[in-house]
Structure 1
Amino acid sequence: MADERNTKTGGGFSAAERAAMKQRAAELRAESKASKGAAKKQQEFQACLDAIAALEGTDKKIAERLHVIVSEEAPQLDPKTWYGFPTYARNGKNILFYQPASKFKTRYGNIGFAEDAQLDEGEFWATAYAVLDVTPDAEKQLRALVKKAAG
């Protein structure tokens, strides 16, 4: 029996991957029609909150906690969505995001860091972290990563 999360449809993409691409296309259409400046940032902020509110269970708990952590440790980052993921950007460049487990039916969600995150250390560093829960120890590490990534 095929694993549902990897079941491919026409074109070589799974149904979940195609849905994510459609979501991103809708985000881009909305951005092109969006207001400029503060109004645009407010629309993106609301989209991020809506994406978090639509989550359930552990995904929602982690995304809500991540939102608080980013707000406290890196208030200069702008909340938005990217492929439907709660995302935080600096000067329009994505810095970090939460990919919920429910999105692709995986065992755990990921907190990912984009290439503009300031986490580079030598030749090798992590760009994503699996998250099962935001315990006090995990939160301490996450706060440090968010602060460093935001610069």
Structure 2
Amino acid sequence: MPEKKATKKVTGEAAVLAKITAMPAPYGKMGECLHALILRSAPVLQPTVWYGMPGYAKEGKTICFFRADKKYMTFGFTQEANLTREEGASHQLIESAWYFTALDDATEAKLSAIVRKVAG
């Protein structure tokens, strides 16, 4: 019977940076900026690879991730994130993902605030 090769879980900053480097242009550069923004905004988060995407974990549980899609960069949260329904909202929706095509100052500021909130 053939031996099964042990699969090693790839994790940590080096693995995340490798995933970012493999992203097609212009997403690789945006990924580098987003990676730095996440670590700066919530130093408690630890880089990890989550389902093949750059992810960021708190206490071993991935709370946010990003990926390059065909037309957009996607930034999202897992159910482990500190998410709350908008106070006073007339609906039951909770924001959990965003698409963007560039990282300008306003987008970076919004993402930084979101990361701080969900890492809290």
TM-score range, shorter chain: 0.7 to 0.9
Q: Read off the aligned partner of 1:89 and give its amino acid letter.
A: A
How many residues align? The count is 110
The answer to whether residue 46 in structure 2 is matched with residue 30 in structure 1 is: no
The answer to whether residue 117 in structure 2 is matched with residue 134 in structure 1 is: no
Q: Read off the aligned partner of 2:105 and give its amino acid letter.
A: P
SS of the residue 2:83 aligns to: coil
The answer to whether residue 32 in structure 2 is matched with residue 54 in structure 1 is: no
Q: Give deviations 1:101-127, integer Å, cap 9, x for gaps.
A: 1xxxx3212001111111222532111
Counterpart mapping for 1:2-151 below 5 A:
29-31=7-9, 44-101=12-69, 106-122=70-86, 123-151=92-120
Q: Between the two proteins, what is the percent identity of the paired residues?
A: 32
Aligned-pair CA distance for 1:139: 0.5
Aligned-pair CA distance for 1:45: 1.7
Q: TM-score, normalised by structure 2?
A: 0.83
SS of the residue 1:30 aligns to: coil
Counterpart position of 1:17: none
Q: CA separation in 1, counterparts of 2:38 and 2:82?
A: 15
Q: CA separation in 1, counterparts of 2:27 and 2:102?
A: 9
SS of the residue 1:29 aligns to: coil
Q: Which runs of 5+ in 1 are unaligned?
A: 1-27, 35-42
More helix by share: 1
Aligned-pair CA distance for 1:98: 0.6
Aligned-pair CA distance for 1:79: 0.2
More strand by share: 2
Q: CA separation in 2, counterparts of 1:53 and 1:148?
A: 27
Aligned-pair CA distance for 1:58: 2.0
